[in-house]
Amino acid sequence: MIGRLNHVAIAVPDLEAAATVYKDTLGATVSAPQDEPDNGVTVVFVELDNTKIELLYPLGENSPIAGFLAKNTSGGMHHVCYEVEDIIAARDQLVEKGARILGDGEPKIGAHKKPVLFLHPKDFSGTLVELEQV
């Protein structure tokens, strides 16, 4: 069902500082910040040969990342994202197997402008999992 690892998302308390570390210290290619108001985040993508790192920063008062950073003030890994061919088929298979889909169960458009779903971390060893249709 799952395909490639699309990205690992890291919530950060200072987006500019985090992007600078990846760019200047690690020598990575780093995108410009991109506001995603529908998802309550500003994102920066760190491009790697085999995947991406997504740096997440809260956008607005109701950002889901704000709560994460309140508990993890230095930041930390927020989620992993796997690619799927058909997000509806993947969702239906997962629900049939007992996995819980967060939200209303319907895909939303993610930062890559593709349909995404999030899976409950308690069903995946404490890790928040995002599925993204390729």
Active-site amino acid positions:
130
Tokens 């458009």 locate to: 109
Pick from 97, 61, 122, 112: which is nearest to 131 by CA?
Answer: 112
Residues 16 and 32: beta-carbon distance below 8 Å? no
CB 116 within 8 A of CB 107: yes
What is the three-class DSSP state of 14?
coil
Closest among 128, 122, 92 to 107, alpha carbons compared? 92
